[in-house]
A and B are shown apart, each in its own frame.
Chain A
Amino acid sequence: GESVGLHLPTLSVQEGDNSIINCAYSNSASDYFIWYKQESGKGPQFIIDIRSNMDKRQGQRVTVLLNKTVKHLSLQIAATQPGDSAVYFCAEEKSGSNYKLTFGKGTLLTVNP
């Protein structure tokens, strides 16, 4: 499954499938990007980040891809688990913004057992 963050805010996948959550960011001057996960009743939690001098970064079961040409960021979750069910936000920081993050609207990921 695939979701375009601001236009399709929900994504439903089967347990064990791979998930892809997309985000179109707005500012070509942004040079630092973060994915956050927010579970029900909790604050957003840092998952993975990437700087503009990279196009891919991998963590444990998660990969972030950055395409600066089209201003697109994606989060790939491998072997999605029920515990991955949450709202996922992308955030961008524009160089010179005094470390201010701008957040996307979020995508709700639901993992079906």
Chain B
Amino acid sequence: ETGVTQTPRHLVMGMTNKKSLKCEQHLGHNAMYWYKQSAKKPLELMFVYSLEERVENNSVPSRFSPECPNSSHLFLHLHTLQPEDSALYLCASSQVGHHFYGYTFGSGTRLTVV
């Protein structure tokens, strides 16, 4: 496996379900990100973890809960979501510091809330 891997690729869940999105990076990077991508909107930053510490939480509702157990893994735990939360959720990683060259994205999880 290379790059940034996200699972599952597609997820359909009811509003009362609990599910988790998983992201794994194989690049040796020290920062990881969750983004939400909705139709006709710019990418929305949700959470940033740098050196396994959450450094940013962009006013995201508490029904989204991130977890970063180590520098290679990132989770997004979901519970009691709303239909407007349906979107493509993208994970990214980067090497912050002197050698920053932007983010490497995974292919995303297409989430549909019914």
Interface residues of A (CB under 8 A from B): 32, 34, 36, 41-46, 49, 89, 91, 93, 98-101, 103-106
The number of inter-chain residue pairs (CB within 8 angstroms) is 50
- The reply to whether A101 and B102 form a contact with Cβ atoms under 8 Å apart is yes
> Which B residues from 90 to 105 make CB contacts under 8 A with A?
90, 92, 94, 96, 100-105
Chain B, 68-92, contact with A by CB distance < 8 Å: what is the 0/1 string? 0000000000000000000000101
Interface residues contributed by chain B, number (CB under 8 Å): 25
B55 proximity list for chain A (CB < 8 A): 98
CB < 8 Å: which of A34, A43, A91, A105 contacts B90?
A43
Q: Does B61 contact A (CB under 8 A)?
A: no
CB < 8 Å: which of A32, A45, A89 contacts B43?
A89
Chain B, 40-73, contact with A by CB distance < 8 Å: what is the 0/1 string? 1111010010100001100000000000000000
B90 proximity list for chain A (CB < 8 A): 43-44
CB < 8 Å: which of B6, B41, B94, B105 contacts A99?
B94
CB < 8 Å: which of A34, A43, A105 contacts B102?
A34
A100 proximity list for chain B (CB < 8 A): 45, 48, 56
A83 to chain B, nearest CB (A): 17
- The reply to whether A45 and B105 form a contact with Cβ atoms under 8 Å apart is yes
- The reply to whether A105 and B42 form a contact with Cβ atoms under 8 Å apart is yes
